[in-house]
Amino acid sequence: MDILLGILIFSFIVHAFLIVPFVNFLYHLKFFKNKTAISKEKTDEASVHIRSKSRTPEGGGLLILVVTSLIFAFILPLLRRLGFEITHVYAINDEINIIFFTFIAFGLLGLYDDVVKFFELDREEGYTGIPSRYKFMIQGVLGFIIGAMMYINLGIDIIHIPFVGVIHFGVWFIPVAAFLVVTFANAVNITDGMDGLASGLLMISLFGFLILSTSILDTPLSIFIALWLGGLIAFLYFNVFPARIFMGDVGALAFGATFATVGLLTGKVVALMIVGLPFLIDGFSSLIQILWVKIFHRRILPIAPLHYYLLKIGWSEPKIVQRAWLVGIMLVVFGIWLSII
Instruction: Specify the pLDDT at position 81.
Output: 87
Q: What is the pLDDT of residues 312-322, one digit of tens each?
A: 888 899 999 99
Please tell me the least confidently modeled range out of 14-18, 79-83, 256-260.
Answer: 79-83
What is the four-CA torsion angle of 118, 124, 130, 133, rounded to 10 degrees? 140
- Output the CA–CA distances (angstroms, integers) from residue 89 to 92, 95, 154, 155, in the order listed: 8, 9, 9, 11
Instruction: Specify the pLDDT at position 160.
Output: 78
333 SS3 class: helix
Instruction: Specify the pLDDT at position 301.
Output: 81
The whole-angstrom separation of Cα 101 and Cα 150 is 12
Assign 68 a pLDDT band (cuts: 50, 70, 90).
Answer: very high
Instruction: Specify the pLDDT at position 168.
Output: 85
What average pLDDT score do residues 9-17 get? 96
Percent of the chain scoring above 90 in pLDDT: 55
Instruction: Specify the pLDDT at position 163.
Output: 78
Instruction: Specify the pLDDT at position 114.
Output: 83
Instruction: Specify the pLDDT at position 295.
Output: 84
Q: Is the pTM of this model over 0.85?
A: yes
Which of 27-41, 50-64, 70-84, 119-133 tops mean pLDDT? Answer: 70-84
Q: What is the pLDDT of residues 17-59, one digit of tens each?
A: 999 999 999 888 877 765 555 555 566 666 676 677 777 888 8
Amino acid at 256: G
Q: Between these two residues, 148 and 340, which has the higher pLDDT value?
A: 148
Enumerate residues 6+ apart whose C-beta is below 8 A from 249. Answer: 58, 61, 109, 110, 111, 113, 114, 189
What average pLDDT score do residues 120-141 get? 70
Angle between helices 60-81 and 219-239 (to 10 degrees): 150
